[in-house]
Structure 1
Amino acid sequence: AYVAEDDGEEGGAGGSVPPVTIPEPPRNPASRTGDLWILGDHRLLCGDSTSDDDVRRLMNGERAILFATDPPYLVDYDGSNHPTRNKDWSASYGTTWDDSSQGAELYDGFIAAAVAEAITEDAAWYCWHASRRQAMLEACWEKAGAFVHQQIIWVKDRGVLTRSHYLWKHEPCFMGWRRPNRPPKVAEETLPSTWALPSFAKDDRPDHPTPKPLDAFGIPMRQHVARGGLCYEPFSGSGSQIMAGEANGRRVFAMEISPAYVDVAVERWQAETGRDAILDGDGRTFAQVRTERLGDDAEARADTPDTDAAPEPARKRKTAA
């Protein structure tokens, strides 16, 4: 298995950064649907990744060479599949965006919008998924003219206890492209299809049932995207792929439907870089917008994190390291 090491070499594990504190999602977010935040070289739109118009606005005439994402797994997280702790994720995983009844419609939608507006013909495709949804995902790719070239396996350093016969200690990711346009490979190193990356201990586990380490996105970046090149993320969540891009010198244009998690991603990036996110079109900083929109609530949020916050449901929230 590929084991992450901070060796600083392109194509390997170089560019990984220590995990940073992920802000709590606010009960009353400053961001609004339609806000486009400029985070240095990255762009983050509070919008819908199944909407051609939203994706077109986000991309601003550019197209990405990497289409990597960790979308909703379309499984139910109500705690019933855990034999002991029975963690109930339903407060975070609203039925409007990550339940098993949605079927392939969501996947078909965000893939079609990406092909139409966001990615190059020879883009590399990576998609993390639940094992039970592999057939559905492969069918969605086939409808879009893409095929599964390989399956990547994330080998975790600890297992997840469920009611399954075996302890779950891995997650799969499809890698492929649209025929016949094989994507570029900019890294000299050829890695194995198993990636041994750290996972989360119970006490460190963020508010998400399938959190990813940054190198789950950093490795594909270093394999396919030259420094300064562009990646498209249709489900930004807490901004993990943005943070991976920041660490690896790649640009990320990301979409997130939940205003609360747009706030989380913006604050996470600001804390890591020491820079201000800017609202596209008028030059106001995130801090200025938050103060203008929330007033005293913004000051309270800055002083005292709301650990009981319950943000509005959205299709996906990734709170990876």
Structure 2
Amino acid sequence: MKVESIEYRSCHVDELRTYEKNPRRGDVARIAESLRARGQYRPLVVNRGTHTGREMEVLAGNHTLAAARSIGLDHVDVGIVDVDEQTARSIVVADNRLADLGGYDEATLAELLSDIDDLTGTGYSDADLQAILAGQETPEEKTDRDDAPPVPETPPMSSEGDVYELGPHRVWCGDSTNAGGVAEYLLYDGLVDCVWTDPPYGVSYVGKTKDSLTIENDGAAGLADLLQGAMGTLAVSAKPGSPVYVAHADTERVTFETAMRDAGLLVRQNLVWVKNTMVLGRSDFHYKHEPILYGETPPAPGSDEEAAAIEAREVDPAHPHGDRHEPILYGFTPGGKGRLGRGGARWFGDNKQTTVFEFPKPPRNADHPTMKPVDLVVAMLKNSCPPGGLVLDLFGGSGSTLIAAHHLGAKARLVELDPRYVDVICRRWQAHTGQVPIRGGEEVSFL
């Protein structure tokens, strides 16, 4: 006997009876959690009972009925069929068994779960998501992750305004001070969860390419204005409570901190990347480190997070300037839940992290003198980026943040002003992953 028709309506829970021989042992508590969080989104299948003698018997959704009763729901939505005994039994068995026979695309599942702000009621927890991500294979590396291609000596393939899709990542050839452009071209799926960026240092570095490439916007003149605009963009592009890392030159720390504070970011600590070798220069002491500022935007007024942030900003008299580091600014966007000081949902690392990160310099950086090793960025993002989260870099450079995000299972959103470096990012991505960049819906090969 086949189901001929289905009548949909709302029934009082007292009208319904559970199936007498249901073999399934469901998790009523989790189903109840789902009902509280999102309500009922699928009707129960109920047999009218004309052919079985058992009126309004639930064939599919017995545990949903139990969960509804447990949280005090009076009515549930049902689809009423009228079938004989054999068909009723078949429906019960099929409803339970067919779901068991299916599998999961783990990558798609992880991406789907990562895009849900609150997993309550889904049957998954944050720990479940972490386990799924940990079980996925590391993306295949066709090149060394620090291998950035040279800047093209021919006219670039990219031009201002171009937007590229690099797998789950996106790159915009545009101005990091243009908050509207960043929102339009990069934030189509929401604000970012974390920021790791390496702005120009105001030092006018010159690369060793044949055309003596100078990095866009590097040079002391206009640095403050550039940073003011970029930090303003950062502040409105990240979710409340998002961690922020900003690499900078020690000699320009005041300029960087001022721009961050003026944008509402709270500077918490100065982190240091210690290199494996010193960098020869004209200073009395040769540099063997680079600083990275770490901070946050103001938490909600009156919150526990605000109190913790105020306490964290107090100067430690024993170490007013830190001891051994190259600073990288790190912080959070205003508000939101998160670890401020010693706890919070936006800290994903352990309690052994220090302000010092020791990683070798990238082997090739003639075309981008301030290029950071991917493993350095990975180490920091691991502490601050949720599984599958969005990472923003307003100064894309050679694309190290994108490669780091890729190997963490995160999704990068990059801005790069110079079309030549957009070419570098796209070429590096294609060489590293074997995937061809997409522009305007069409593949654009850079190899």
TM-score strictly above 0.5: yes
Match for 2:191 among 63, 66, 69? 63
> Partner residue of 2:343?
none
Give, in whole Å, the separation in 1 of the partners of 2:375 and 2:254. Answer: 26
Query: 1:88/1:37 Cα in 2 relative to 1: closer, same or farther (>3 Å)?
Result: closer
Q: Deviations over 1:138-161 (max 9, x none)?
A: 111111121221111111100011
Give, in whole Å, the separation in 2 of the partners of 1:146 and 1:67. Answer: 12
Query: 1:200/1:39 Cα in 2 relative to 1: closer, same or farther (>3 Å)?
Result: closer
> Partner residue of 2:347?
185
Structural mapping, 1:216-227, within 5 Å: 216-227=376-387
Q: Deviations over 1:56-110 (max 9, x none)?
A: 122114111111101100123369xxxxxxx79993225x611011131000101
Match for 1:72 among 200, 219, 244? 200
1:200 Cα deviation (Å)?
4.0
> Partner residue of 2:293?
174
1:189 Cα deviation (Å)?
4.7
| Contact persistence 1:232–1:252 (CA under 8 A) | yes
1:216 Cα deviation (Å)?
2.6
| Contact persistence 2:148–2:365 (CA under 8 A) | no
Calculate the aligned-residue CA RMSD, in Å. 2.6
> Partner residue of 1:197?
359
Query: 1:20/1:131 Cα in 2 relative to 1: closer, same or farther (>3 Å)?
Result: closer
Give, in whole Å, the separation in 2 of the partners of 1:220 and 1:227. Answer: 14
| Contact persistence 1:77–1:90 (CA under 8 A) | no
| Contact persistence 2:393–2:401 (CA under 8 A) | yes
> Partner residue of 1:111?
231
| Contact persistence 1:92–1:208 (CA under 8 A) | no
Letter of the 2:265 partner, please give it.
A
> Partner residue of 1:147?
266
| Contact persistence 2:164–2:439 (CA under 8 A) | yes
Q: Deviations over 1:210-266 (max 9, x none)?
A: 221002321222111122111111011111111111111111011111111111111
Give, in whole Å, the separation in 1 of the partners of 2:354 and 2:265. Answer: 22
| Contact persistence 1:15–1:218 (CA under 8 A) | no
Query: 1:270/1:15 Cα in 2 relative to 1: closer, same or farther (>3 Å)?
Result: closer
- RCO higher in structure (CA 8 A, sep ≥6): 1
1:273 Cα deviation (Å)?
1.1
1:33 Cα deviation (Å)?
1.3
Query: 1:260/1:76 Cα in 2 relative to 1: closer, same or farther (>3 Å)?
Result: closer
Q: 2:169 aligned with 1:42, yes or no?
A: yes
Q: Deviations over 1:25-74 (max 9, x none)?
A: 22211112111111111011111111122111221141111111011001
Match for 1:206 among 339, 345, 366? 366
Q: Deviations over 1:95-143 (max 9, x none)?
A: x611011131000101112222x21121101111001111111111111
Give, in whole Å, the separation in 2 of the partners of 1:196 and 1:111. Answer: 27
Give, in whole Å, the separation in 1 of the partners of 2:362 and 2:149. Answer: 17
1:209 Cα deviation (Å)?
2.1
Give, in whole Å, the separation in 2 of the partners of 1:265 and 1:255. Answer: 11
Of all paired residues, the percent bearing the same amino acid is: 31
Mean CA deviation greater in 124-133 or 215-224: 215-224
Query: 1:16/1:39 Cα in 2 relative to 1: closer, same or farther (>3 Å)?
Result: closer
Match for 2:397 among 225, 230, 237? 237
Structure number with greater Rg is 2
Give, in whole Å, the separation in 2 of the partners of 1:16 and 1:158. Answer: 29
Q: Secondary structure at the match of 1:121?
A: coil
Letter of the 2:254 partner, please give it.
A
Give, in whole Å, the separation in 1 of the partners of 2:252 and 2:402. Answer: 26
Give, in whole Å, the separation in 2 of the partners of 1:16 and 1:170. Answer: 30
| Contact persistence 2:401–2:412 (CA under 8 A) | yes
Structural mapping, 1:236-255, within 5 Å: 236-255=396-415
> Partner residue of 1:274?
434
Query: 1:20/1:147 Cα in 2 relative to 1: closer, same or farther (>3 Å)?
Result: closer
> Partner residue of 1:165?
284
> Partner residue of 2:213?
92
| Contact persistence 1:78–1:90 (CA under 8 A) | no
> Partner residue of 1:307?
none
| Contact persistence 1:138–1:147 (CA under 8 A) | no
